[in-house]
Structure 1
Amino acid sequence: MRSRSSLASGIAVAALVLAACASTDDSNTSAGSTETASGDICETASGDGPKIGLAFDVGGIGDQSFNDSAIAGLEQVVTDLDGSCTDVEAADGEDDAAREERLRQLAEADHTIIIAVGFIYGASVYTVAPDYPDINFGIIDGAPPEGVDLLPNVANIGFAANQGSFLVGAAAALTTQSDNVGFVGGLNIPLIQDFEMGFVAGVEQIDPAIEVQSEYLSQDDPAEGFESPTNGETAATGMFDNGADVVFHAAGKSGLGVFDAAVAAGDGMWAIGVDSDQYLTASPEQQPHILTSMLKRVDTGVIEYVTGVADAAESGGEAPNGFVTYDLSSDGVGYATSGDFLSQDIIDQLEDLKQQIIDGEIKVPTAF
């Protein structure tokens, strides 16, 4: 029987979850400090192109997901545009004032484009940006705080996670042998419900009779939802025990436990990763069980945004601002094929579904 959790929202909770999604246990920076991250490109690039500042969310370089994808995009666009950059890390447990100070430091250092990685920067960017109208600010997964108007020099960069999740849902439906699949979400908020809704719709597109088990690891505690592989493993183990043979997670670090559960469940049991191609960073024991990953191309968002700002500066046009969403049509989301576990027949079907979504023939439900 399919279980569907009720919608729960809240700007503050969403901000916390994005921080949790991108964090790891490796961050030991003291609160209130700002450290330069270890992106090689910003230590060597010194071109005459755009000068870009990138402010990481907690976790920074090495999170194997959200932040790493951002630095990959930064490296590419700095190289392509012969620019220069500075990347700075967040401190665990810091407040909006610390984030504001970090952004002001980048602005005062004459960066022409500043990218803040994570929804948690929303309030800080909308506080700082009016003081620097000639600098373009982009927020990954961004939105203005409630009651605050959009700004002409701020772009809220989002991703159609529901569309990418639809495709991996279809992949799960085309792979399952038990007609039973699962979804593990980190926190029960619209940001994560969007993954679930797309996944369920993708399964139903292939076969409405397939059972979808769904569980959120927490209703209101980001740490329990996104920082606990144990919780992820427990949830996924229950799904495998109840007949699922494919489980998709949108649960940050907790998703590593979903991979472990698939390993323990044995041959023919699959997990689906999220955000990055998690097959590439999984352990040798986990890799044979990672069917695919739902790609949320933060790197694409960074590249396209910076390129758009640079093009506008050259042509005298308007830089990207307001809400900018990267979807299947712009390769902002997608699915991975590492491991070669998806047959060519399945890939062909997924590509057909992808085109139907791009053409508007399939409308993927969303939590927003």
Structure 2
Amino acid sequence: MRRITRIATVGIASAALALSATACGGKSSSDSSSENGGKVAIAYDIGGRGDQSFNDAAYAGLVKAEKDLGVEGTEAEPTEGEGDPDKVQRLTELARAGNNPVIGVGFAYAPAIAEVAPKFPKTTFGLIDDTSKTAKNIANLVFNEEQGSYLAGVAAAKVTKTNTVGFIGGVETPLIKKFEAGYVQGVKDTKANVNVKVQYLTQPPDFGGFSKPDLGKAAAQGQLDAGADVIYAAAGLAGSGSIEATSKAGKWAIGVDSDQYNQKGLAAYKNAILTSVTKDVSGAVFNLIKSVEDGKPQSGEIRYGLEQNGVGLAASNPAYTKMTDVTAAVDKAKAAITAGTIKVKTAP
């Protein structure tokens, strides 16, 4: 059984009632474990489940853990315009309900996890995409996004016919700039005269660039109008708007985080999704849950890169697999990165 909880910012007592109410018809949130395994929880990032990208990848890891390990999962959705106190409240209630681990999906959970983790020393907290907050009971699940993005840049440079490609970042943060840096480097190392147009949808503290498809669509249309024929968007849910615009223009889109060619919500545009830069967020979530179930909880930095297949480039689109010159160039670049002969930048 899985519960979805939306904890409003109405105080701890009311939040506890809301969490308990979601369990109606099943186990109460005060149960310490399910029949077959422990209780685990994931708290989603901006955009929530259904973003066809980052959050959905985390959800896939939860589903696998439920199936393979017999755990009982709880999902916690974000609220519009929430701040750190809201996240603190959410994580506190999830930990208090007996979930272990409690996983914050995204760097935005870093301050909240740093505040809540000391209060629940026997609970493991997973923090995805951030290493700034550390403790014995915090597992920092991080990825070499720049490496996968480099491969996307190689592919984009090989397929462009206009010598103009685009990059759209959801919010201009150090994390998303890793995607930009790797992509631009991959493009330029492959074909130096290709112009890379870069645009960010919002600037911190406005994180709406991760959740608004209309912004992604408008940004992609602007790049298409300027001659781009391949667009890579690292923008969460907003990236779906970019994919839609690119598809309707008959150009190539490059997905992110999940293999977006296979996402049901993007089925209408799948033929335009050349490839996707994947992050094994699902594997990281599953591995953390399993480590807790095994009594050997992960702690500290757990890094996933090309060498561990923690990042990569999807090959689901048959059109992509038939481009043997492109796939050969990507494979060559991957081998060079894992061998250390290509050093990928983490900042533009």
- Give structure 2 stretches of 5+ with no counterpart: 28-32
Matched, 1:278 2:256: no
Residue 325 of structure 1 deviates from its aligned partner by 1.9
Percentage of matched positions with identical amino acids: 40
Asked if the contact 1:29–1:92 (Cα under 8 Å) also holds between the matched residues in 2, the reply is no
Residue 97 of structure 1 deviates from its aligned partner by 3.2
Residue 198 of structure 1 deviates from its aligned partner by 0.5
CA RMSD of aligned residues (A): 3.0
Report the more deviating stretch, 95-104 or 271-280.
95-104
Residue 126 of structure 1 deviates from its aligned partner by 1.3
What is the aligned partner in structure 2 of residue 359 from structure 1? 339
**Inter-partner Cα distance in structure 1 for 2:203 and 2:43:** 28
Matched, 1:185 2:169: yes
Amino acid at match of 2:302: V
Residue 284 of structure 1 deviates from its aligned partner by 5.2
**Inter-partner Cα distance in structure 1 for 2:280 and 2:299:** 19
Q: Once the two structures are superposed, what CA deviation does each residue of 1:112-166 show, in whole Å capped at 9, x if it has no partner?
A: 3221222222122111211222221111123446xxxx21111121121111111
Count of residues in Structure 1 that have an aligned counterpart in Structure 2: 328
Matched, 1:70 2:77: no
Amino acid at match of 1:192: I
Among 195, 202, 207, the residue aligned to 2:186: 202
Asked if the contact 1:180–1:246 (Cα under 8 Å) also holds between the matched residues in 2, the reply is yes
Matched, 1:57 2:53: no
Among 241, 246, 258, the residue aligned to 2:230: 246
Amino acid at match of 1:279: Y
Amino acid at match of 1:275: D
What is the aligned partner in structure 2 of residue 154 from structure 1? 138
Task: Decide whether aligned partners of structure 1 residues 304 and 348 sit closer, same or farther in structure 2, where only a CA change above 3 A counts.
Answer: farther
Residue 191 of structure 1 deviates from its aligned partner by 1.5
**Inter-partner Cα distance in structure 1 for 2:151 and 2:20:** 37
Task: Decide whether aligned partners of structure 1 residues 252 and 62 sit closer, same or farther in structure 2, where only a CA change above 3 A counts.
Answer: closer
- For residues 114-133 of structure 1, the aligned pairs below 5 Å read 114-133=102-121
- For residues 99-114 of structure 1, the aligned pairs below 5 Å read 99-114=87-102
What is the aligned partner in structure 2 of residue 12 from structure 1? none
DSSP 3-state at the match of 1:361 = coil
Q: Once the two structures are superposed, what CA deviation does each residue of 1:274-326 show, in whole Å capped at 9, x if it has no partner?
A: 12222233555522222111112210110222233444x26xxxx42222221
Asked if the contact 1:263–1:286 (Cα under 8 Å) also holds between the matched residues in 2, the reply is yes
Amino acid at match of 2:176: I
What is the aligned partner in structure 1 of residue 30 from structure 2? none
Among 76, 97, 107, the residue aligned to 2:85: 97
**Inter-partner Cα distance in structure 1 for 2:117 and 2:7:** 26
**Inter-partner Cα distance in structure 2 for 1:116 and 1:224:** 18
- For residues 139-178 of structure 1, the aligned pairs below 5 Å read 139-144=127-132, 150-178=134-162
What is the aligned partner in structure 1 of residue 291 from structure 2? 308
- For residues 22-37 of structure 1, the aligned pairs below 5 Å read 30-32=8-10, 33=15
What is the aligned partner in structure 1 of residue 316 from structure 2? 338
Matched, 1:287 2:270: yes
Report the more deviating stretch, 170-179 or 275-284.
275-284
Q: Once the two structures are superposed, what CA deviation does each residue of 1:189-236 show, in whole Å capped at 9, x if it has no partner?
A: 212111110001111232222222222233346356334434333332
Asked if the contact 1:126–1:144 (Cα under 8 Å) also holds between the matched residues in 2, the reply is no
Task: Decide whether aligned partners of structure 1 residues 59 and 38 sit closer, same or farther in structure 2, where only a CA change above 3 A counts.
Answer: farther
DSSP 3-state at the match of 1:362 = coil
- Give structure 1 stretches of 5+ with no counterpart: 1-26
Residue 84 of structure 1 deviates from its aligned partner by 3.0
Asked if the contact 1:36–1:88 (Cα under 8 Å) also holds between the matched residues in 2, the reply is no
Task: Decide whether aligned partners of structure 1 residues 75 and 96 sit closer, same or farther in structure 2, where only a CA change above 3 A counts.
Answer: same
Among 295, 316, 320, the residue aligned to 2:298: 320
DSSP 3-state at the match of 2:121 = coil
**Inter-partner Cα distance in structure 2 for 1:361 and 1:230:** 40
Asked if the contact 1:35–1:89 (Cα under 8 Å) also holds between the matched residues in 2, the reply is no
Report the more deviating stretch, 234-243 or 27-36.
27-36
**Inter-partner Cα distance in structure 1 for 2:289 and 2:6:** 30
**Inter-partner Cα distance in structure 1 for 2:144 and 2:85:** 30
TM-score, scaled relative to structure 2 = 0.82
**Inter-partner Cα distance in structure 2 for 1:262 and 1:166:** 21
Task: Decide whether aligned partners of structure 1 residues 250 and 152 sit closer, same or farther in structure 2, where only a CA change above 3 A counts.
Answer: same
Asked if the contact 1:229–1:257 (Cα under 8 Å) also holds between the matched residues in 2, the reply is yes
Residue 65 of structure 1 deviates from its aligned partner by 2.0
Asked if the contact 1:31–1:93 (Cα under 8 Å) also holds between the matched residues in 2, the reply is no
